[in-house]
Amino acid sequence: MYEKVVTITAEHGIHTRPAALVVKKARSFPCEIWVQCNGKEVSAKSLFKLQTLGLYKGVSVKVIAKGEQAQQAVQEVSELIITLS
């Protein structure tokens, strides 16, 4: 299992459209991927779930992955979260 903590810098947080990019990226990996934030943990592959996390600017999130390509998945998903604006 791999994990990494990153902070959201996107001015308006990660809402619908940027969240959809995260979902798309997550779905490109075969492993299971979760995002943990504010005490909740949801699959990074579901926009429906990701929306309810409250991903505001300045909030720290933990990206967790388990299984095939988990390390690369954590790396790429967390990098995407940082670069979203």
Partner 1 sequence: MSVTGIVVSPGIAFGKVLHLNFYHEKVDYRLIPTNQLSDESKRLKQAFANQKQYLEQSLSKLETDSTHASLIEADLLLLEDEDLILEIDATISKLQVSAAVAIERIFGHQADELAALDDPYLANRAEDVLCLSRRLIARLNGAQHINLSQLQQDTIILAADLTPAEFAMLPLEHIAGIVLNTGGVTSHTAILARNAGIPALLSCQYEPANIANGTEVVLNGVDGELVIAPNQAKIAALSSLKQQDEARKQQLLMLKDLPTQTRDGKAIGLLANVGSLNDISHLADVGAEGIGLFRTEFMLMNTNTLPDEKAQYHFYCDALHLMAGKTFTIRTLDVGADKELPCLASMQEDNPALGLRGIRYSLAHPELFKTQIKAILRAANHGPIRLMFPMINQVEELDALFEHIEQCKAQLTEQEKGFGELSYGIVVETPSAVLNLQSMLPSLDFISIGTNDLTQYTMAADRTNPALTKQYPSLSPAVLTLVQHTIDIAHQNKVRVSLCGELASDPKIAPLLVGMGIDELSVNLSALLEVKSALRNINYQTCLSQAQHALKLTRIDELTHYINGIN
Phi, then psi, of 45 in degrees rounded to 5: -95, 0
Residue 35, strand partner residues: 42, 63
In the list 45, 65, 78, 84, the residue contacting partner 1 (rule: CB under 8 A) is 45
Choose among 62, 80, 47, 84: nearest CA to 2: 62
With CB under 8 A as the contact rule, the residue among 3, 9, 10, 51 that binds partner 1 is 51
Residue 5 in contact with partner 1, rule: CB under 8 A:
no
Which residues contact partner 1 (rule: CB under 8 A)? 12-13, 15-17, 20, 23, 43, 45-49, 51-52, 54, 56-59
